[in-house]
């Protein structure tokens, strides 16, 4: 990781038609360049290699079908040990034929399997229907069935003479319809049957014990066997239509018991045969899928690479002879030698008679931003780029963020115990990172934690350090070196007596008494403060001043970093008209506040601490330019404060008018404007530069054309944006300094939450003196550990992380970092997304 982005150049690639595919393939493996589209006005459907891309999409469709079938069979897709290279164009048809042949075979086997499953399901349903309806026909009483039965047949009274019903005399025959229906539809089906048939039906039903699968939806449903008795063909047609509307599975109902027995025997035999055939079909299908799964991952990578190559070739343009492809790429200057070697290797693989070559060309376009990172720095680089990608060759805050971000987090999270837990968790992820990368868990929350494992490790280490400084470990202090305060001296010097102990609930140690205070604690805060009643008052004062000091130093460092941008871009006028006024305004006001804090610490000892004045009162009187009624900190304080305020106020008009007036003079009478270092920084007008071009210092030369470059200059526009910047910076110095007080607030909140958790949970278990206290301590410690991890580590840690993120984005980075660049996106096969990985098929 560098302190600024790498130097880029625009280059032309001249690729011979016969070796262009191999050259692009080699470039994709190396990931060196970013291609530009030389055919922006040509539609995607009118480009030269559209047919090849369609062939790749067809292979992707077949691979998607294949991977879905493999996942249905619960088979793993092993990754290739060595990633395959893009296939040669002459081998593409062979891969296409293999995939098509495999698709046809799988589709035929899958159709046969589905057909067999449907037949088996129908036979199984038919068996259940025959078994249950047999109980309906031989039941002594229809009211004993599981469901209600309707027996209302109007005018069915039997005549005493003939022994026949009126329906039989009319020629109506008794019919039966039987089948299966889903359990959830039974009530509606029953109601519809009653309303339509006017009661001329008898419905009997019972639920099937076995749950059957619906092959269309794949769901497991509870089904009900029903038997409907009716008189007449007209009623039967109505019943048939109702069954069709409710998607009932109807099966023929045997008329006699002998016929029912024959059908049952035939069904048993057919089910047994179907099960054997289905098992063999499934075994054959698994064999085919297992063999295909061994090559599936390689095919996916090959098709992905091949499609990407043809997409890049569509971005290129042909020369007039159609024998050479011309491509334009952005390439880091340091990788030009590797680029030439890669093109030579591609030409050799393509057996080209004329080698491909690269030609560097000048350009006035803004190059993309490239900041190289490794697995340690990538997390911190992501934090910076979440704010915005830096401008080309702009100073990057990422190297400094590696230290400042976990430090500011630790100031708010400082606890030795919590930091140790966080460090151990991050260290476990770091040591087992290879296993986690191999498993590729789909949990997005876990992936976020794992990607930021080095950030968590640094935050944990810095939290251990600040925990030692605060002398805070799970809200308790560690007496490592022994306290520097002694109670014995108070008795030996006759300051305390037995009567003093009996009459005072609280006692105050006087450091002015010889032997009471022997000196500062070697590391951090003295552990005796953990027992003091005024501990919170002491820590409030200490952490509030510490927050202001850290904030002013952090902001001043951001302002100083802007000098490196001005010097690099040869804009020295910004040093005098932007940097110096900004730094003077910040240091004359808030830098002086830091000076007063240190001076008060050093100038006033324990003996005269009662005479120490309030820094806040002096700081307010500094702006009012009046003498304070309290004792001054040092001689000549009033004169120095007036001088600093005057300097701060004078820096405001310089910051407001300096740059617009200089640019006005430069445009109307200064030296001509030009480009710098072979490129021109094009930025938005709202970010301190002219549009559409940038004003450079007098040291800059001429434009690319060799003559003066006419630049449209609008003084009002420049002045407006400079006024916005001046107001934002001056007010921001006040608000940003106050914003750093969040370090104090969150540090105290974390310490108090830790103390409350210890007092309300852990102390209850430690106070039990009986033998059962040890057993009671186990659940108490479990609750304590759970609350510590969930509240103090996760919730408080996330809160401190977000506040540290805000301090870097708003208070630090905006002093020198614009973040309006475009990230370098190299053509790299390893960075290309896969549709199958997004769908979870790989």
676: pLDDT strictly greater than 50: no
pLDDT tens for 606-641 read 777 777 888 888 888 888 877 766 778 888 888 899
Structure tokens, 710: 């006419």
Question: In this predicted structure, what is the pLDDT of residue 172?
Answer: 56
Write out pLDDT tens, residues 420-475: 999 999 999 999 988 877 776 667 888 888 989 999 999 999 999 999 999 999 98
H-run or E-run covering 621: helix 615-624
Preceding amide of 23 cis, omega within 30: no
- 410-444 in b/e burial notation, b at 16+ Cβ within 10 A? bbbbbbbbbbbbbbebbeebeeeeeeeeeeeeeee
Question: Quick one: residue 519, left, alpha or beta (phi over 0 = left, psi -120 to 50 = alpha)?
Answer: left
Instruction: Tell me the pLDDT tens digit for each residue of 686-718.
Output: 334 433 334 444 334 333 334 444 557 888 899
pLDDT tens-digit readout, 756-783: 999 888 888 887 777 777 778 888 889 9
H or E stretch covering 327: strand 324-332
Average the pLDDT over 648-674 and give the result. Answer: 83
| Least confident segment among 405-409, 517-521, 835-839 | 835-839
Element (H, E) at 261: helix 257-315
pLDDT attached to residue 628: 67
Neighbours of 682 (CB within 10 A): 16
Mean pLDDT for the stretch of residues 476-498: 81
Give the C-alpha distances (Å, rounded to integers) separating 603 from 517, 542, 614, 691: 18, 17, 14, 53
pLDDT tens, residue by residue, 26-54: 999 999 999 999 988 888 888 888 999 99
DSSP 246: T
Task: Indicate whether 528 pLDDT > 60.
Answer: yes
Residue 383 buriedness (CB in 10 A; 0-12 / 13-18 / 19+): buried
Determine the pLDDT at residue 684: 37
Q: What is the pLDDT of residues 318-375, one digit of tens each?
A: 876 777 889 999 999 999 999 999 999 988 888 877 888 899 999 889 999 999 999 9
198-231 pLDDT, tens digit per residue, is 777 888 888 888 888 777 676 788 888 888 888 7
HSE-CB at 201 with a 13 A cutoff on CA atoms is 28
CA distance 656 to 156: 107
């Amino acid at each position: 990781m560098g302190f600024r982005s790498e130097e880029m150049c625009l280059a032309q690639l001249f690729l011979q038609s016969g070796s262009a595919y191999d050259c692009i393939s080699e470039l994709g493996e190396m990931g060196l360049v970013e291609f530009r589209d030389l055919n922006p006005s040509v539609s995607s459907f009118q480009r030269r290699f559209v047919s090849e891309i369609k062939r790749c999409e067809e292979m992707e469709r077949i691979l998607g079908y294949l991977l879905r079938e493999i996942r249905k069979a619960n088979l793993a897709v092993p990754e290739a040990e060595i990633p395959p290279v893009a296939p040669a164009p002459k081998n593409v048809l062979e891969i296409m034929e293999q995939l098509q042949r495999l698709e046809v075979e799988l589709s035929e086997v899958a159709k046969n399997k589905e057909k067999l499953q449907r037949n088996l399901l129908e036979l199984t349903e038919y068996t259940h229907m025959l078994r249950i309806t047999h109980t309906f026909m031989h039941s002594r009483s229809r009211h004993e069935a599981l469901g209600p039965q309707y027996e209302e047949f109007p005018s069915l009274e039997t005549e005493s003479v003939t022994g026949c019903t009126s329906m039989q005399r009319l020629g109506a025959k008794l019919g039966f319809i039987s089948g299966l229906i889903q359990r959830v539809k039974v009530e509606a089906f029953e109601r519809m049957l009653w309303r339509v048939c006017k009661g001329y039906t008898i419905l009997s039903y019972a639920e099937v014990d076995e749950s059957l699968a619906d092959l269309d939806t794949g769901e497991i449903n509870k089904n009900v066997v029903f038997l409907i008795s009716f008189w007449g063909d007209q009623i039967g047609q109505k019943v048939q239509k109702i069954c069709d509307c409710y998607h009932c599975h109807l099966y023929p109902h045997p008329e006699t018991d002998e016929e029912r027995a024959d059908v049952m025997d035939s069904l048993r035999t057919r089910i047994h045969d179907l099960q054997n055939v289905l098992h063999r079909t499934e075994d054959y299908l698994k064999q085919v899928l297992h063999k295909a799964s061994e090559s599936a991952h390689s095919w996916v990578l090959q098709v992905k690479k091949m499609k990407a190559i043809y997409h890049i070739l569509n971005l290129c343009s042909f020369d007039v002879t159609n024998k050479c492809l011309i491509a334009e790429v952005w390439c880091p200057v340091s990788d030009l030698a590797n680029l030439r070697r890669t093109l030579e290797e591609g030409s050799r693989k393509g057996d080209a008679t004329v080698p491909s070559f690269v030609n560097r060309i000048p350009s006035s376009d803004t190059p993309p931003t490239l900041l190289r990172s490794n697995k340690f720095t990538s997390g911190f680089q992501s934090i910076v780029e979440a704010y915005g990608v830096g401008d080309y060759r702009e100073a990057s805050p990422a190297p400094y963020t590696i230290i400042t971000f976990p430090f500011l987090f630790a100031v708010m999270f400082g606890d030795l115990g919590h930091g140790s837990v966080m460090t151990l968790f991050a260290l476990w992820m770091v040591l087992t990172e290879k296993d986690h990368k191999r498993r590729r868990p789909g949990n997005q929350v876990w992936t976020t934690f794992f990607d930021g494992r080095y950030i968590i490790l640094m935050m944990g280490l810095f939290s251990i350090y600040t925990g030692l400084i605060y002398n805070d470990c799970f809200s308790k202090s560690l007496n490592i070196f022994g306290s520097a305060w002694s109670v014995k001296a108070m008795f030996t010097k006759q300051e305390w007596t037995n009567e003093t102990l009996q009459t005072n609930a609280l006692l105050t140690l006087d450091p002015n008494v010889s032997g009471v205070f022997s000196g500062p604690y070697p590391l951090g805060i003295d552990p005796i403060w953990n027992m003091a009643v005024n501990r919170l008052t002491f820590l409030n004062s200490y952490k509030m001043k510490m927050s202001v000091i850290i904030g002013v130093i952090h902001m001043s460092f951001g302002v100083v970093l802007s000098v490196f941008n001005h010097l690099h871009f040869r804009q020295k006028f910004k040093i005098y008209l932007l940097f110096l006024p900004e730094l003077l305004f910040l240091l004359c006001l808030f830098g002086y506040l830091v000076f007063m804090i240190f001076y008060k610490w050093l100038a006033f000892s324990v003996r005269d601490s009662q005479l120490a004045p309030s820094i806040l009162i002096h700081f307010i009187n500094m702006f009012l330019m009046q003498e304070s009624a309290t004792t001054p900190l040092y001689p000549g304080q009033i004169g120095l404060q007036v001088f600093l305020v005057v300097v701060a106020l004078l820096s405001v008009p310089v910051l407001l008018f300096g740059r617009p007036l200089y640019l006005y003079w430069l445009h109307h009478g200064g030296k001509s404007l030009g480009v710098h270092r072979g490129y021109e920084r094009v930025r938005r007008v709202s970010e301190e530069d002219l549009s559409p071009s940038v004003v450079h210092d007098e040291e800059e030369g001429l434009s690319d054309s060799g003559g003066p470059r006419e630049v449209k200059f609008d003084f009002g526009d420049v002045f407006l944006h400079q006024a916005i910047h001046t107001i934002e910076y001056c007010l921001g110095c006040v608000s940003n300094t106050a914003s750093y007080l969040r370090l104090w607030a969150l540090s105290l909140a974390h310490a108090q939450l830790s103390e409350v958790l210890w007092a309300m949970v852990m102390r209850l278990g430690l106070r039990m003196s009986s033998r059962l206290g040890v057993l009671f301590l186990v659940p108490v410690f479990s609750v304590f550990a759970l609350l510590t991890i969930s509240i103090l580590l996760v919730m408080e840690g996330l809160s401190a992380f977000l506040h540290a993120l805000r301090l870097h984005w708003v208070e630090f980075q905006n002093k020198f970092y614009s973040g309006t660049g475009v990230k370098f996106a190299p053509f790299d096969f390893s960075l290309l997304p896969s549709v199958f990985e997004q769908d979870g098929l790989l």
